[in-house]
Structure 1
């Protein structure tokens, strides 16, 4: 669980946990180094984008599209996989391949190295309990760190890569992914290939596909879905971190003020919430109806549960996801399905999608086999914020209405004989 070493609001941290700007949100989030290296192996630049290093990622993606195309490397790989070695030698441009190899190896190495360094920085930012601004408003956009649904981001990116990133608040990344997705699908004749595949005319679908450009699509498509999913998870955790720090700083400030003794006809209500804007709205509502600020205690709970989940898959703040292996396997089999789809009956689109689904479930089964004793399908609902409010007994019904309106998970009215110290 994060935030174990809470520091005073007066301390200025040296290491940042995240930042918001007009261009989107980003966070220093620990990622598994081999996962970052794998995405760079699949497509140079993807590993850097996965880590939040967007500028070098964009540069390497443009470099890959230009140099790979000039070298006819995708075409050579596809022909080699199909056993047509002489044809593969004939189409590949050796000079461009030699230029390609250095930057390709650098991309894999640098993404692995960056993942290690980012994890170190994350640990130091946790020690200092670095703050994160919850919102940025400018003339161009409004960026707010709030809770969103990871599966919905994945669905939007499955419909069109880039939409999931826009949904998650990564404006520049989403725009860039949308742009290169449109460009690559145009060059690959993807729309026509998809159309003829959908109506069952696989001969025309296969004939019109441009092999060189079409083989960019599997890696791009799989990565866009995976990246959209994990970035929403990261932003959700960033929200929890920001709100946790706010609540603890608030309590630290209240502790310095004189506390009021319990008066006659006073009741105490305890409620629990999930991390969300409703927590702060409830505090504001209570203050609005006249409850003194010092009578409202709101602090995060420390979760003791340590199980790994499939759907709620980012395991706390260690960067580990059960879906890592599943999406890696899905990307591999989507590429293979696309390559062999050029010569098989159903064409590259159908076999590519079947490869993605089959590879995903195969990878998921392997992940589950390694975590069989501690993996659940869905995360159970967590009570993440504890709130205790002391008020006059006459305000009881009003208090309950506020708790219901602000989506409290539940509440308890303490008996008068119990006066807990918090």
Structure 2
């Protein structure tokens, strides 16, 4: 028996598309499994956070910080990269290091496995077509699923990791990332090291830093920037999906009612991006006296099949060229921080240089690999077409509403002088 479309909002869906609450926003989003596995390898727990399994991620991040410190693993890594192998052997606590290995491998394997399962459930959630509640009001917070800028989210996490997650609506995730960033920076003496670097006192910068704690920072910093961008993009896509379903259900409910025309009717067609303004315009037009069945609002199908920089409603697979860019940035930020211990500018500046250099190197590789199917400049926005049939006397008022609510453009069809049959 084929799956039936979800009909009642009072019944909990078997495969929900997403959920918003005072704790944040999460969605059944198809993330690439190998990207999840890579982030788990870079920092256990990050892979699970990447696919939306935040509780698993929090537990594994705490485990990483505790066991890595007890085993002095980061110090052993620093000494090994600097060629001081005897010191690496002597500083490593083998008892804790052996306990570290099994959980580290599990993190990589489980994040990959979970990403595969989530991709399957995403397909079922699309078949079930369950609604998403776009807002949640509680005593503690007002959470709204709306459109935000992924770049703004990344910039806030660039200044302080965690702020981008808070901007994106992930309260618990943002608080967790911000708290651990502050704690690790304190333990690593990172702020003092940064001040010495800015003032040009590079010898003090190299000696002030606590390497065991400092080596956590490059991966945390890069992931916070990347995850803020990705999570806002996913939330925007979830918003589009929710609004498309709302408009489709509205159209199905009204299409049985005949459109009301008179001898002096006119038709106005406008295009808009998916946003709250779409529903506001529909409400404003109805307030002018236009019958609901005379207002048709449906999403515009996009025929573009090329790969874009990030996902859109028309290409939801979790894959973007930013994956390789941020991987490269993370790797080179770690290496820059390590070798900055010996190089003149110190670990902070070389870490940032490594982050920027690795990002652009990874981006170039992604563009070269995908150059035949990549269209960076392609328009990624999904649009809604609104068609209004009304009395010509309302034309000026309708155009005023469209302009005030950020319509992309409109066209007025010729006046109708005959009554519809």
TM-score, scaled to structure 1: 0.95
| Root mean square deviation, CA, Å | 1.9
CA distance in 1, matches of 2:312, 2:300: 20
Q: Show the counterpart of 2:119.
A: 119
Q: Does 1:193 align with 2:197?
A: no
More moved, 311-320 vs 126-135 = 311-320
More moved, 76-85 vs 11-20 = 11-20
TM-score, scaled to structure 2: 0.95
CA distance in 1, matches of 2:343, 2:61: 30
Distance 1:239 1:59, change over 3 A: same
Secondary structure of 2:115 counterpart: helix
Give the drift of 1:311: 6.5
Contact persistence 1:154–1:226 (CA under 8 A): yes
CA distance in 2, matches of 1:311, 1:319: 8
CA distance in 1, matches of 2:326, 2:382: 30
Distance 1:362 1:36, change over 3 A: same
Contact persistence 2:148–2:232 (CA under 8 A): yes
Q: Which segments of 5 or more consecutive residues in structure 1 lack a partner in the other structure?
A: none
Contact persistence 2:16–2:130 (CA under 8 A): yes
Q: Does 1:273 align with 2:272?
A: yes
Q: Show the counterpart of 2:243.
A: 243
Secondary structure of 1:259 counterpart: coil
CA distance in 1, matches of 2:416, 2:304: 32
Q: 2:7 aligns with which of 4, 9, 30?
A: 9
| Superimposed CA distance per residue, residues 295-352 of structure 1 (whole angstroms, 9 cap, x where no aligned partner) | 1111111111122233678982111111000101110010011111111111110110
CA distance in 2, matches of 1:36, 1:418: 61
CA distance in 2, matches of 1:299, 1:386: 6
Q: Show the counterpart of 2:388.
A: 389
Distance 1:314 1:281, change over 3 A: closer
CA distance in 1, matches of 2:314, 2:204: 46
Secondary structure of 2:266 counterpart: strand
Give the drift of 1:10: 4.4
Contact persistence 1:45–1:58 (CA under 8 A): yes
CA distance in 2, matches of 1:92, 1:383: 53
Contact persistence 2:6–2:131 (CA under 8 A): no
Q: Show the counterpart of 2:215.
A: 215
CA distance in 1, matches of 2:122, 2:173: 22
Secondary structure of 2:241 counterpart: helix
Q: Show the counterpart of 1:364.
A: 363
CA distance in 1, matches of 2:376, 2:18: 29
Q: Show the counterpart of 1:38.
A: 38
CA distance in 2, matches of 1:21, 1:136: 6
Q: Show the counterpart of 2:401.
A: 402
Secondary structure of 2:5 counterpart: coil
Contact persistence 1:233–1:314 (CA under 8 A): no
Contact persistence 2:312–2:382 (CA under 8 A): no
CA distance in 2, matches of 1:65, 1:263: 72
Contact persistence 1:268–1:413 (CA under 8 A): yes
Distance 1:381 1:233, change over 3 A: closer
Q: Show the counterpart of 1:338.
A: 337
Q: Show the counterpart of 1:65.
A: 65
CA distance in 1, matches of 2:271, 2:312: 23
**1:22-421 alignment runs, 5 A limit:** 22-256=22-256, 258-310=257-309, 316-380=315-379, 382=381, 384-416=383-415
Contact persistence 1:313–1:321 (CA under 8 A): no
Secondary structure of 1:271 counterpart: strand
Distance 1:8 1:121, change over 3 A: closer
Q: Which segments of 5 or more consecutive residues in structure 2 lack a partner in the other structure?
A: none
More moved, 11-20 vs 354-363 = 11-20
Contact persistence 2:23–2:172 (CA under 8 A): yes
Secondary structure of 2:406 counterpart: coil
